[in-house]
Structure 1
Amino acid sequence: MDVFRLFRQLWPYLMRYRLKLFLGLIFIVISNLIAIVNPQIVRQAIDYLKGDIQTMRLFQYAGLIVLITLVQGVFRFLMRRTVIVVSRLVEFDLRNELFARLQSLSQNFFQRTPTGDLIARMTSDLNAIRSVMGPGIMYTINTATTMILVFVMMISISRLLTLIALLPIPLLVFLVSYFSRQINKRYSAVQAQFAEISTRVQENLAGIRIIKSYVKEKSELQDFNRINREYINKSLHYVKVHAAFRPMMMLLVGLSVVLTLLIGGRLIISGTITLGQFVAFNMYLGMLVWPSIALGWVLGLFYQGVASMKRLNLIFDARPDIVDAPDVKKVTRLHGAIRFERLNFSYANGSSEVLKDIDFQVEAGQVVALIGRTGSGKSTIIKLIARIYDAPDDSILIDDIPIKKIPLKTLREHIGYVPQETFLFSDTIRNNIAFARPDASLEEIEWAARMAEVHQSIVEFPDGYDTLLGERGINLSGGQKQRLTLARALLKKPSILLLDDALSAVDNLTEERILQHLKQVMKNKTCFWVSHRISAIRHADLILVLDQGQIVERGTHESLLALGGLYADIFEKQQLEEFVTQVD
């Protein structure tokens, strides 16, 4: 991506605020038009000194210079007040659109892209784009108009001196081309390393309890120091190039000044130009110093922006894997009858089949339990029903409608999903439970908490339901977190409840009470329950036993025990474990 493609992509965002931007550009031009007047006043004042001098006239010149400088300052304030505001508004829009795109993407994207890397793109890279849209645009227009106006005034004084002053330009073009490529390359490396640091920090903070329990603080610090050192080295590598750019530009400007002084002195002696004209010419030449510096700085911003936009386009160009089918039906209500028809499934990474020839039917209102050894595909079935992953066409039907033809929004509105890994927001307990229904009353929230057997734990906190949870609910036990996420799903009152080992951290007595509540809550509603504990699923209407991705047994608790297969084997082992625990 080059600078022109960068602006072509950002142009629609700029056009949303074209009035402010246009005013800002007008203020820049007016400011520079005013700026070129001062050297002419100085020229007149110096040439006036050769004749009869009147003190009042000199005061008039001085007063005029002060007045013009003040007016110029006002317009410079206005140009910053408009153009910089536009850059902030563009940043606001970009951040919103980036976040909206992230919300729309499927789980595969987040499995491929580290969270820390995404955070770096949403912060550091977005800041680089803002700098392009604000200072980048402002100083580009300012530099261009200043140079054009100054060159016109310089030519009006002396074409020869102007030509001499422009001699270093070819070298300037070469330096700009060379340094721009280097800046782009090295800044991309810096941003990639910053993303790695962000990822490491995010992972470290999320897993701080594991790190401490394994006494790995020193080793983690050493790893972080290594990554941080690489970041510093790459940053210094970038800074060396960027820092060399400005002095090179200043050197070329200085060369122009030296050449101008040598030739200008001869022109004054020969009477070709006056002393006042020569002073004015040098003032104009001095006005090119900052634009020359700004040119290098702005080009650095642009190529930083190009590198950052490439990184942001990873998000903008990503498309969700899970979308509504073109022939999606107008479905507004689901009852919960679910049918799997000879389903075979493997994940997108090309691994072997996770599920093989899965075939079963569930009537609305039934409770279905999934049990089996670790890695047998139980959780995958749950995720396919919730369309976290897509199954092959027409292999899953809900209410006799292929799942892909049910609007995704409708499907998920009717599903309550409690995953294996609980997640709670850094918010109050009340808001965590009411996540799916922000308008729920406190009575409804308390009802859901009672059904999940977590109400008593909540009221024991000093602030009750207004207790603020730490990140991911770090101030709760594993069982409390599981019950809170269950309460969140129950408050939604879904037609289909998916419980993926949702009570693994809950003791047997509490689990039994929750099961009794669920019988009432999920009456006439479909429930899929993944569990490793037979005690949790023995009353299910249908139990599916999975092994190596296949359904090897199916039936009720009693019929499966009578079969004497894998289910009976798991049951006997769990009974023995319970007996040993009671004896101890």
Structure 2
Amino acid sequence: MIDKRWTYVIAISSIILSEIVSVQFPNVLGQFTDSLSRGALSMSLVMRYALELLVIGVTYVLLYGVGQLLNGRSGRIFEYQLRQKLFLHWESLSTSYYRQRSIGDLLNHAMNDVRAVREALSGGANILTNAIFLLIATLYMTFTTISVKLTLVSIIPILFVPLLVIWWGPKIRVASREVQESLSDMAEFTEESLSAIRLIKATASEEVEANRFSTQIEQIVHTQMQMIKRSAMFQSFIPLLGSLSFAIALLYGGYLTVYHEIRLGEFVAFTLYLAMIITPLQQIGFVINNFQRASASLTRLSILLGAQPEIVDDKDAVAMPSVRGAIDVQLTTFQYADSDHPALSDISFTVLPGQTVGIVGRTGSGKTTLANLFPRIFDPPFGSLFVDGVDVRKICVQDLREAIAYVPQDGFLFSTTIAENIGFSETEVTTEALEQAAKDAAVYDDIMRFKDGMNTQIGERGVALSGGQKQRVAIARALLKNAPIMILDDSLSAVDMNTEKQLITRLQKLRAKKTTIIIAHRLSAVRHADQIIVLDAGRLVEKGSHEELLRKGGMYRNLYELQQGDGEVSG
């Protein structure tokens, strides 16, 4: 395959050669006119001129076509590589980055901004190369074959084009940035609204959302009209300057022809050359316009690609390809960057390999925050959390996360098949392994009730499944990973008591020699645990086994009695 740089060189060279060929067209017509005015035309001469024009036309089409094809191909490859780079960059960024950015805005970067840059670099480079060299070749032909004086006088208005670009270009760039920002706002609003469609339907808020969307659209129309006005004024000035050049050429060229300073054929050729000059001027205006728009998009993309991940390997990070599952937590305090008070304080406990630990507490007590520290979704302070005796901040992030099977609160599922969701973390997995994981998660029978079984398309975020089914598919995905540490973050809240009991029994059997952390509101999900941690307002208030905590008569016992009264805790 041709190197990218050579592709551009060949493309540009082809376009340059095509313009050198195309500027011979007026010259041949000028010679034809001179022969006609002298009465020296013969049929053989007519055939020769016709053949020359045909050769010029065919050669031009072939050369220009090759240049356009290669430039267009390079542009599409650039677009593909930029989108790929953008996605890989997003995957490398830390979770905290997405707490500050909307998905709609990021999608607008990937779609509109990347396309704007590609159109400017590919289509713009193609047109600009064509325009510049057509202009140079045309001026060269007029200087060398017709009249230096006529050419210099005629191009006076064209000399004002650079001043026009300097004055008007920044206005277009500002307007383009405003358009892109309004498109990002619309994409953000649309993504949020469609994600909340069930709530909108349930509360009969369709009209309210439609009105809010109309406001967004009106803002886009306003900003786009501003950009269109500025672009239209800019692009209309350049043809105007070209028309002034044409008028000067007719006046002065006509004068030179009348007084026989140039021949009639030269005057005809010059008018054709001047028409050719006006075309690249219009093209240059169009390209500059596009470049100004792309400049705003490129700035936005540069800012995005310049963002750095917060969770990175320490300079002294150690590889841990094999993990036993021992955990030691000595957390003094943890505080989110955008918060003014600690989320966790004074938490200390130890987990031996193969033990099961339950973490319970009221809503907002810090259970999920603690769970997020283990795989370094958020970084704990140095010296506060250890796996197999090594500070997690000193373990390679990739090794640490491969050692943990994590099922988050929402049990997120992808808009694909059940089989692909269960096998998400594995590069190669057999049908038997998928089915076994589904059976272990007590969801296999539910899956088989679907017509397509494991190949059932579950829709966006698993919309085709119930809450309990989604949680169990997510658990099956974690079980298939078979990691030495598993974290279930309130992943049994949507299943009934009988299914929960089945799952707990299977987990005890399957993970007898592996560490399991179960975060739950229902105490029935953790009563079998070797150790139960009770959190309140971000602090550890109690720890021990189910029986030990009941005997203490503290917060755990109060939660137990409350849930027993509601029928949520069974034997």
TM-score (norm 1): 0.95
Q: Is the 8 A contact 2:522 2:568 kept in 1?
A: no
The answer to whether structure 1 residue 34 and structure 2 residue 17 are counterparts is no
**Alignment equivalent of 2:33, drawn from 42, 46, 56:** 46
The answer to whether structure 1 residue 458 and structure 2 residue 447 are counterparts is yes
Q: CA deviation at 1:170?
A: 4.0
Q: CA deviation at 1:16?
A: 5.4
* SS class of match (1:440): coil
Q: Give matches, 1:353-432, under 5 Å.
A: 353-432=342-421
Tell me the distance in 1 between the aligned counterparts of 2:353 and 2:559.
Answer: 28
1:75 is aligned to 63
The answer to whether structure 1 residue 100 and structure 2 residue 88 are counterparts is yes
1:444 is aligned to 433
Q: Is the 8 A contact 2:326 2:515 kept in 1?
A: yes
The answer to whether structure 1 residue 295 and structure 2 residue 284 are counterparts is yes
The answer to whether structure 1 residue 124 and structure 2 residue 100 are counterparts is no
Q: Which amino acid aligns with 1:451?
A: D
Tell me the distance in 1 between the aligned counterparts of 2:302 and 2:339.
Answer: 25
Tell me the distance in 2 between the aligned counterparts of 1:477 and 1:147.
Answer: 66
Q: Which amino acid aligns with 2:153?
A: I
Tell me the distance in 1 between the aligned counterparts of 2:319 and 2:169.
Answer: 54
Q: Is the 8 A contact 1:343 1:396 kept in 2?
A: no
Q: Give matches, 1:471-490, under 5 Å.
A: 471-490=460-479
Tell me the distance in 2 between the aligned counterparts of 1:158 and 1:317.
Answer: 54
Tell me the distance in 2 between the aligned counterparts of 1:253 and 1:553.
Answer: 84
1:111 is aligned to 99
Tell me: CA distance 1:356–1:188, structure 2 relative to 1, closer, same or farther (3 Å): same
Q: Is the 8 A contact 2:158 2:242 kept in 1?
A: no
Q: Which amino acid aligns with 1:80?
A: Q
Q: CA deviation at 1:215?
A: 1.1
Q: Is the 8 A contact 1:168 1:252 kept in 2?
A: yes
Tell me the distance in 2 between the aligned counterparts of 1:573 and 1:160.
Answer: 100
The answer to whether structure 1 residue 538 and structure 2 residue 532 are counterparts is no
Q: CA deviation at 1:69?
A: 1.2
Deviation larger for 494-503 or 436-445 = 436-445
* SS class of match (2:425): coil
**Alignment equivalent of 1:145, drawn from 117, 130, 133:** 133
1:560 is aligned to 549
* SS class of match (1:554): strand
1:272 is aligned to 261
Q: CA deviation at 1:579?
A: 8.5
Once the two structures are superposed, what CA deviation does each residue of 1:282-303 show, in whole Å capped at 9, x if it has no partner? 1111111111111111011211
The answer to whether structure 1 residue 244 and structure 2 residue 244 are counterparts is no
Tell me the distance in 2 between the aligned counterparts of 1:187 and 1:242.
Answer: 10
**Alignment equivalent of 2:174, drawn from 185, 195, 202:** 185
In structure 1, the gaps of 5 or more residues are 1-14
Tell me the distance in 1 between the aligned counterparts of 2:420 and 2:42.
Answer: 79
* SS class of match (1:83): helix
1:304 is aligned to 293
Tell me: CA distance 1:395–1:580, structure 2 relative to 1, closer, same or farther (3 Å): closer
Q: CA deviation at 1:204?
A: 1.7
Once the two structures are superposed, what CA deviation does each residue of 1:514-551 show, in whole Å capped at 9, x if it has no partner? 00000011111111111111111111111111111110
Q: Is the 8 A contact 2:522 2:569 kept in 1?
A: no
Q: Is the 8 A contact 1:95 1:122 kept in 2?
A: yes
* SS class of match (1:49): helix
Tell me the distance in 2 between the aligned counterparts of 1:338 and 1:206.
Answer: 37
Q: CA deviation at 1:172?
A: 2.0
Q: Is the 8 A contact 1:423 1:472 kept in 2?
A: yes
Q: CA deviation at 1:330?
A: 2.6
Tell me the distance in 2 between the aligned counterparts of 1:30 and 1:327.
Answer: 57
The answer to whether structure 1 residue 495 and structure 2 residue 495 are counterparts is no
Q: Which amino acid aligns with 1:192?
A: E
Tell me: CA distance 1:316–1:579, structure 2 relative to 1, closer, same or farther (3 Å): closer
Once the two structures are superposed, what CA deviation does each residue of 1:407-435 show, in whole Å capped at 9, x if it has no partner? 11111111110100121111111111111
* SS class of match (1:50): helix
Tell me the distance in 1 between the aligned counterparts of 2:263 and 2:440.
Answer: 95
Tell me the distance in 1 between the aligned counterparts of 2:374 and 2:469.
Answer: 26
Q: CA deviation at 1:508?
A: 0.7
Q: CA deviation at 1:159?
A: 1.7
Q: Give matches, 1:124-273, under 5 Å.
A: 124-156=112-144, 157-273=146-262
Q: CA deviation at 1:267?
A: 0.7
Q: Is the 8 A contact 2:360 2:532 kept in 1?
A: yes
Q: Which amino acid aligns with 1:79?
A: G
User: How many percent identity over aligned positions?
Assistant: 36
Q: CA deviation at 1:315?
A: 2.6
In structure 2, the gaps of 5 or more residues are none
Q: Which amino acid aligns with 1:498?
A: I
Q: Which amino acid aligns with 1:542?
A: Q
Q: Which amino acid aligns with 2:93?
A: L
The answer to whether structure 1 residue 520 and structure 2 residue 488 are counterparts is no
**Alignment equivalent of 2:49, drawn from 61, 65, 69:** 61
**Alignment equivalent of 1:468, drawn from 453, 457, 465:** 457
Tell me the distance in 2 between the aligned counterparts of 1:343 and 1:433.
Answer: 37
1:18 is aligned to 5
Aligned length: 567
1:8 is aligned to none
Q: CA deviation at 1:436?
A: 1.2
Q: Which amino acid aligns with 2:221?
A: I
Tell me the distance in 1 between the aligned counterparts of 2:340 and 2:116.
Answer: 39
* SS class of match (1:543): strand
* SS class of match (2:312): coil
Q: CA deviation at 1:237?
A: 1.0
Q: Is the 8 A contact 1:119 1:198 kept in 2?
A: yes
Once the two structures are superposed, what CA deviation does each residue of 1:179-211 show, in whole Å capped at 9, x if it has no partner? 211110001110111111111111122221111
TM-score (norm 2): 0.97
Tell me the distance in 1 between the aligned counterparts of 2:156 and 2:35.
Answer: 32
Q: CA deviation at 1:351?
A: 2.8
Deviation larger for 548-557 or 172-181 = 172-181
Q: Is the 8 A contact 2:524 2:568 kept in 1?
A: no
* SS class of match (2:329): strand
Tell me the distance in 1 between the aligned counterparts of 2:204 and 2:176.
Answer: 36
Alignment RMSD: 1.5
Tell me the distance in 2 between the aligned counterparts of 1:25 and 1:343.
Answer: 63
* SS class of match (2:353): coil
Q: Which amino acid aligns with 2:194?
A: L
Once the two structures are superposed, what CA deviation does each residue of 1:548-580 show, in whole Å capped at 9, x if it has no partner? 111011111111111111111111111111289
Tell me: CA distance 1:265–1:249, structure 2 relative to 1, closer, same or farther (3 Å): same
Q: Which amino acid aligns with 1:44?
A: Q
* SS class of match (2:99): helix
Q: Is the 8 A contact 1:433 1:485 kept in 2?
A: yes
Q: Which amino acid aligns with 1:76?
A: Y
